[in-house]
Amino acid sequence: MSTPGALDGLVIADFGRVLAGPYATMLLADLGAEVVKIERPESGDDTRSWGPPWVGDESTYFLGVNRNKSSRAIDLRTDEGLAAARELVARADVVVENFLPGTMERLGLGYEQVAKDSPGIVYCSITGFGGGNALPGYDLLIQAVGGLMSVTGPDEHTPTKVGVAMVDIVTGMHAALGILAALRHRDRTGTGQRVEVNLLSSLLSALSNQTAGYVGAGVVPKPMGNRHPSIAPYQLFDTADRPLVLAVGNDKQFASLCRALEIPELSSDERFATNSARVAHRDELVRILDERLAADTADSWFDALTAAGVPCGPLNDIADAIALAERLGLDPTVEIADPHGEEVSRHVANPIRLSETPPTYRSSPPGLGEH
């Protein structure tokens, strides 16, 4: 018998689509919540068709964020469908939706409407630009207008998106956190509340030191490729065979790096003795390190520098990264058998580790309307 999850008994009516909402509800489902995914008949969630890659006739995009859920195909344009949706919402503890602002209200399923009969409901709305702005929000769009692309890429003439829908993922994590906070409040008071997150605000928060630099000091950051605006050396370097990252975060680590590279005098050079000095003389430092690192391979430097306590690592692709996590005993993937026991699917594991109520993997992503 499996260990009960931390959120066992919690019912979530999931009207979320694409990525931010489904990622949030999958995290909660892994922790034991019962998530009922409401989808359009025939087509379902948009991501069901977002392939390749495919596993059978399902896109890996959809499969990656919808495990541990059941699926109900409900046409919200019909009276019958709305009645079914209202019945589900009435027994739910949490509602998650990411329609355009005003859509759920027009359907009679808005927060104020639901809370009249269910005052303990935790109702999470995910939007692109906030509930007062009926603008569609997609990750790429928010990366552009939210400033992420302006600090990503080799230079300011080549704005570049991040290689994954990171804004959606960050927003999904914020949504899950907000839901848990609201549930904690309900545990104490019996009263639910509305939780609102949006893609733009989530990105501005996640930009962290970059937005803090502007808000606090008026500095508008520019892209620096693989360099860091406030730390050096903290970037990608070429070696004799493939790139290697050095992530030297303090003066002690820099001294260890210099000894391991057999250039110990560099750490006492006034141009490089402190982090702020290294940032000011970054180009000179990079030239010296480039020349030294070119003398050996990335793996050789990784062994030598790691032994010296210097944070570093070779540039991995995703296959390499999964293999690394496996070598480190992190169990990065899990296998889930389908309800009929006919197939086993492989998934990326939930990264949260709980000693008493760990994540569980009860079912593969559902077929459209399967339940």
Q: How many other C-beta atoms can be found within 10 angstroms of the C-beta atom of residue 218?
A: 7
Q: What digits encode the pLDDT tens for the residues 68-117? A: 999 999 999 999 999 999 999 999 999 999 999 999 999 999 999 999 99
Q: How many other C-beta atoms can be found within 10 angstroms of the C-beta atom of residue 118?
A: 17
Give the pLDDT confidence score for residue 340 in this predicted structure.
55
Give the pLDDT confidence score for residue 341 in this predicted structure.
57
How big is the chain by its Cα radius of gyration, in Å?
24
Topology adopted by domain 244-314? formyl-coa transferase, domain 3 (3.30.1540)
Active site members: 168
Amino acid at site 9: G
230 or 135, higher pLDDT: 230
Length of the chain: 371
What is the reported pTM? Answer: 0.92
Question: Sorting pLDDT into bands at 50, 70 and 90, what band is 134?
Answer: confident
Strands 244-247 and 54-55: unpaired
Any idea what DSSP says for residue 337?
E
Q: Does residue 2 have a pLDDT over 90? A: no
Question: Sorting pLDDT into bands at 50, 70 and 90, what band is 3?
Answer: confident
How far apart (Å, rounded) are the C-alpha atoms in residues 105 and 99? 10
Helix or strand or coil: residue 229? coil
Task: Let me know: does 235 contact 245? Beta carbons within 8 Å.
Answer: yes
Give the pLDDT confidence score for residue 338 in this predicted structure.
72
Q: Does residue 288 have a pLDDT over 60? A: yes
Mean of pLDDT values over 300-304: 96
Q: Where are the beta strands (DSSP E) in 62-138?
A: 69-73, 94-97, 122-127
Give the pLDDT confidence score for residue 342 in this predicted structure.
66
Task: Label residue 243 exposed, middle or buried (CB < 10 Å: 0-12, 13-18, 19+).
Answer: middle
Q: What digits encode the pLDDT tens for the residues 175-224? A: 999 999 999 999 999 999 999 999 999 999 999 999 999 999 999 999 99
How far apart (Å, rounded) are the C-alpha atoms in residues 279 and 141? 32
Write down the residue that tokens 């998650």 correspond to. Answer: 96
List the domain boundaries for the chain. 11-206+332-348, 244-314
Q: What digits encode the pLDDT tens for the residues 320-355? A: 999 999 999 999 999 998 755 567 889 999 999 999
Topology adopted by domain 11-206+332-348? Rossmann fold (3.40.50)
